[in-house]
Chain A
Amino acid sequence: MALVNLDQVHKYYGDLHVLKGIDLKINKGEVVSVIGRSGSGKSTLLRCMNGLEQYQEGGIVVDGKEVTTEDIQVRQLAMSVGMIFQNFNLFPHMTVGENIMLAPTIVLKKPKYEAERIARAMLEKVGLGEKFDSYPEKLSGGQQQRVAIARALAMNPKVLLCDEITSALDPELVGEVLKVLEQLAKEGMTLILVTHEMNFARDVGNRVVFMHQGKVWEEGDSNTLLSNPQTDELKQFIGAVL
């Protein structure tokens, strides 16, 4: 069974039909880029995968567990699904180290020394080993986002959801974050990204999912799909962003 399974997922905001029957299977180790215009439902789709948004019909199973918005479910899911946000959402009153150690100590109940060992290792991994005792607001946006990645990794997730994680960054800082992602992809991490970075989607990603009007409009191997789009909508979209 695939790591992430979406089966005919429908979501409504009141009368608004946002997701119209999404089927998607994502295997372990895949790097999937979800692209599309704003309002196409791509972020909503991502947020349904870890219970941040409720869906009304269909089913989502991640790592063998059914996804609902029940608090308990979301918390159990936190062990297998990590998420990184556009606005970093680091906790401002905690040092970088404390940010990363928080969930391992109070959710996974690891002893402090163990959590600290993990935190330092994860920080090394994103190239910020020396920032352990800094406060988030003293860091650049790119550094903050790398800390957010380290924080998610510290929970040892099976899949990482990235919601437009480079959109709030100054252009010169985008590269350092993508480099970390690329490294993770090489190590076999399953990544699902909502992104506008077409080059990254093509060079690092295995698969592209193009969302349009709440549906998966087109999907396939990233190289093939981006160089040879089938539908007019995708052609237009690629023309607009490149």
Chain B
Amino acid sequence: MLHFADLLQYSDVFFSGLLTTVELTVLTTILGIAVGTSCASIRQYGNKTSQRVVSIYVELIRNTPFIVQLFFIFFGLPALGVRLSPWEASMIALTINLGAYSTEIIRAGLASISKGQIEAAKVLGLTFRQTLTRVIFIPAFEKIYPALVSQCIIVMLGSAVISQISVEDLTYAANLVQSRNFRAFESYLVTAALYLGLSILLRFAFNSIGKRLFVYREAP
């Protein structure tokens, strides 16, 4: 039989794990989208060489498992003299991962902006940087927003793996609790539910940001 009551005494363990996961998610979502936006702009508007560099980055990340990327950064990089704490390694790995996926997504958004919009900005005297930030980004993001949100959720869920390098996140908490009270099923079930709640919360947060960003879609 299931005994969820046994988990109550560990609620602070779960809570601190949840906090770590939320913290990392917020940070890496912001950083990852920033990386993705920069790389997508280079990929769409940059010169041949920089386009190629971005493509290689994107393909390398998209075609290898996140856990291997994490192990490479955490265990592999010290061999090159780069020593990172588990938390730092996780943050970097998650950012790089989301950065690559969002590059592909955001680039599709940039590609959907008509040449006329860019020309209109040009003949009004805007610099290219101004054109990007003022004219192109918002409509481009609107086009791909749902895909971007889904990807951020996928990366958040993927972060469960960082427990494997001893970051004390939500999954780490679940492992800890089940090793103490041997209620594996209950412990993982509660954790899964917490992750599900996080996904819903993240989607909700994105949607409210989207409502503000894309207010022109809802205007009367």
Contacts and interface: CB of A to CB of B under 8 A. Distances in A.
Given A52-B122, A85-B119, A75 B127 contact: yes
B116 A87 contact: yes
Interface in B96-132: 114, 116-117, 119-128, 130
Interface stretch (B25-33, B78-86, B133-141): B133-141
A71 B128 contact: yes
Contacts of A94: 216
A50 B124 CA distance: 11
A151 interface: yes
Contact of B117 (A71, A81, A91): A91
A95 B121 CA distance: 15
B120 A89 contact: yes
B219 interface: yes
A93 B125 contact: no
A92 B122 contact: no
Interface in B119-175: 119-128, 130, 134-135, 138-139, 142
Main secondary structure of the interface of B (DSSP, over half): helix
Nearest to B136: A91
Contacts of B124: 78, 102-103, 107, 151-152, 155
A93 B139 contact: yes
Given A89-B117, A92-B216, A82 B130 contact: no
Contact of B216 (A74, A76, A137): A137
A241 B130 CA distance: 41
A45 to B, nearest CB: 15
A149 interface: no
A50 B122 CA distance: 10
A74 B123 contact: yes
Interface in B7-34: none
Interface residues of A, number: 32
Nearest to A47: B119
A91 B135 contact: yes
B214 interface: yes
Interface in A140-194: 151-152, 155
A89 B119 contact: yes
A34 to B, nearest CB: 17
Contacts of B138: 93
Contacts of B142: 93
B37 to A, nearest CB: 16
A1 interface: no
Nearest to B124: A103
Contacts of B114: 87, 89
A152 B124 CA distance: 7
A134 B220 CA distance: 9
Contacts of B128: 71
Interface in A103-149: 103, 106-108, 134-135, 137-138
A92 B141 CA distance: 13
B123 A83 contact: yes
A79 interface: yes
Contacts of B130: 106-107
A2 B122 CA distance: 25
Contact of B119 (A52, A76, A90, A134): A52
Interface in B183-220: 214, 216, 219-220
A79 B116 contact: no
Contacts of A106: 126, 130, 134
Interface string B69-83: 000000000000000
A151 B126 CA distance: 13
Given A93-B138, A106-B130, A85 B116 contact: yes
A138 B216 CA distance: 10
A87 B118 CA distance: 13
Contact of B125 (A75, A92, A137): A75
A152 B216 CA distance: 22
13 contacts: A74-B122, A74-B125, A78-B124, A79-B125, A83-B120, A85-B119, A90-B120, A91-B134, A102-B126, A103-B125, A106-B126, A106-B134, A138-B220
| 3 interchain residue pairs of minimum CB distance | A78-B125, A89-B120, A103-B124
Interface of B: 114, 116-117, 119-128, 130, 134-135, 138-139, 142, 214, 216, 219-220
